């Protein structure tokens, strides 16, 4: 009588070292295949007498089932091993890809205007200002009327505005009765900002503006301003001047020479022009400062009562200041850029000189 236990042990010892699917299938066939060891034993049952068959038959069948089950389990574990091996081989080596990128892809840099704008926004945010945005396509109310510049006011000619209609055609209005234009300054945001707030408040609003102007070293047709407004009680010109100087010191990280002179803007009273000593020529005279050694940078003033009224604020109770920083000119002064047109050139050799991402 064959020893089924020995056959079982031999099968198991052989099975456990196998690592390939084909090897397992071969082993299984050696035992329970058509002419396999166990299959032959089962065939021999018919030659046994009834008692032997009764004692041996179930054990032989159990062995057959055991071999089949063990083979199936081994096949499943080999499949898992192979999947894991494949995953390990296909793993993406991120550091390798990066090395390749460094060689083949050039990294860009932030535009210098973006760098300065972010820096200024951070300074103002740290002083409790909100940062607002506004539409580039404006109506004449926000660009002029709300700023104390009615349609017959000569100050409308101070900024050569791009209109969507003939500005002299009084009938020319859009479907909802408004004359549209490309905003000529960020002061449009003053009334928009005031209407949603109760004093005291303070905000800045950076953004591009559009003017039909002849370009030169310090003038563009599309340029950037940064509007600022602070409204509260008992705000004075001294506060305004201190504030402007502090901001310039923060931006330039050193004392810069500035001068304040009277300036006329219908939306402030009194109004000032704050000029900076030209840092391109150090005041000697160049194309940026038009040979005068000073650059107009930061007009400002105390908000006119009519503007406060347009913003829903009682001028008898509250007052405040506003300013309109020329951001492109500030960038020029900070980085020593001698022509504003470089900023809009799109020339990557220019842009890549500044801080990388």
Residue 31 touches ligand FA5, criterion: CB under 6 A: no
Q: Which stretch binds ligand FA5 (CB under 6 A): 53-61, 93-101, 305-313, 323-331?
A: 323-331
* Contact call for residues 60 and 38 (beta carbons, < 8 A): yes
In the structure encoding, which two tokens stand for residue 279, read together? 């840092």
In angstroms, give the least distance from the CB of 309 to ligand FA5: 17
In angstroms, give the least distance from the CB of 191 to ligand FA5: 12
In angstroms, give the least distance from the CB of 290 to ligand FA5: 13
Q: How far is CA 10 from CA 16, 17, 45, 227, 304, in A?
A: 10, 12, 22, 89, 102
Q: Which is nearer to ligand FA5, 14 or 158 (CB)?
A: 158
Site for ligand FA5 in 131-150 (CB under 6 A): none
Phi-psi region of 306 (alpha: psi -120 to 50; beta: other; left: phi over 0): alpha
What DSSP state is assigned to residue 299?
-
Residue 15 touches ligand FA5, criterion: CB under 6 A: no
Q: Which is nearer to ligand FA5, 60 or 268 (CB)?
A: 268
Q: Are strands 137-139 and 162-163 parallel, antiparallel or unpaired?
A: unpaired
Q: Which stretch binds ligand FA5 (CB under 6 A): 254-262, 277-285, 319-327, 341-349?
A: 319-327
Q: What is the DSSP string of 146-173?
A: GGT--TT-GGGGGS--EESS-TT-TT--
In angstroms, give the least distance from the CB of 89 to ligand FA5: 59
Q: Which is nearer to ligand FA5, 71 or 161 (CB)?
A: 161
When binding is defined by CB under 6 A, the residue of 193, 199, 206, 299 that contacts ligand FA5 is 299
In the structure encoding, which two tokens stand for residue 110, read together? 């932030």
CB burial string 224-251: b at 16+ within 10 A, e below: bbbbbbbbeeebeeeebbebbeebbeeb
State the residues that interact with ligand FA5 by CB under 6 A.
159, 185, 187, 211, 213, 219-220, 223, 225, 265, 268, 271, 296-297, 299-301, 322-324, 326, 328-329, 340
């Amino acid at each position: 009588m064959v020893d089924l236990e020995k056959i079982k042990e031999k099968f198991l010892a052989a099975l456990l070292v196998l690592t390939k699917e084909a090897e397992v299938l071969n082993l299984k066939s050696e035992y329970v295949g058509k002419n396999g060891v166990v299959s032959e034993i089962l065939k021999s049952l018919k030659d046994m007498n009834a008692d032997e068959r009764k004692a041996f038959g179930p054990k032989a069948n159990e062995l057959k089932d055991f071999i089949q089950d063990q083979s199936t389990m081994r096949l499943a574990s080999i499949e898992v091993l192979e999947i894991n091996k494949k995953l390990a081989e296909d793993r993406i080596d991120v550091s390798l890809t990066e090395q390749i990128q460094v060689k083949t892809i050039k990294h860009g840099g932030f535009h210098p205007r973006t760098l300065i704008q972010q820096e200024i926004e951070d300074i103002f945010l740290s002083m409790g200002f909100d940062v607002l945005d506004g539409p580039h396509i404006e109506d004449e109310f926000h660009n002029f009327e709300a700023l104390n510049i009615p349609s017959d006011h000569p100050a409308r000619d101070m900024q050569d505005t791009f209109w969507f209609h003939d500005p002299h055609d009084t009938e020319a209005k859009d479907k909802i009765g408004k004359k549209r234009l490309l905003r000529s300054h960020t002061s449009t945001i003053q009334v928009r900002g005031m209407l949603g707030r109760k004093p005291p408040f303070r905000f800045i609003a950076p953004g591009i503006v559009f003017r039909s102007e002849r370009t030169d070293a310090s003038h563009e047709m599309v340029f950037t301003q940064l509007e600022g407004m602070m409204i509260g009680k008992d705000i004075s010109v001294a506060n305004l001047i201190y504030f402007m100087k502090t901001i310039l010191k923060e931006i330039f990280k050193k004392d810069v020479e500035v001068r304040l002179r009277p300036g006329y803007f219908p939306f402030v009273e009194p109004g000032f022009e704050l000029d900076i000593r030209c840092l391109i020529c150090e005041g000697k005279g160049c194309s940026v400062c038009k040979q005068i050694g000073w650059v107009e940078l930061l007009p400002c003033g105390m908000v006119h009562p009519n503007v406060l009224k347009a913003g829903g604020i009682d001028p008898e109770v509250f007052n405040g200041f506003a300013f309109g920083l020329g951001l492109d000119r500030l960038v020029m002064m900070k980085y020593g850029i001698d022509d504003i047109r470089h900023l809009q050139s799109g020339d990557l050799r220019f842009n890549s000189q500044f801080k990388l991402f």
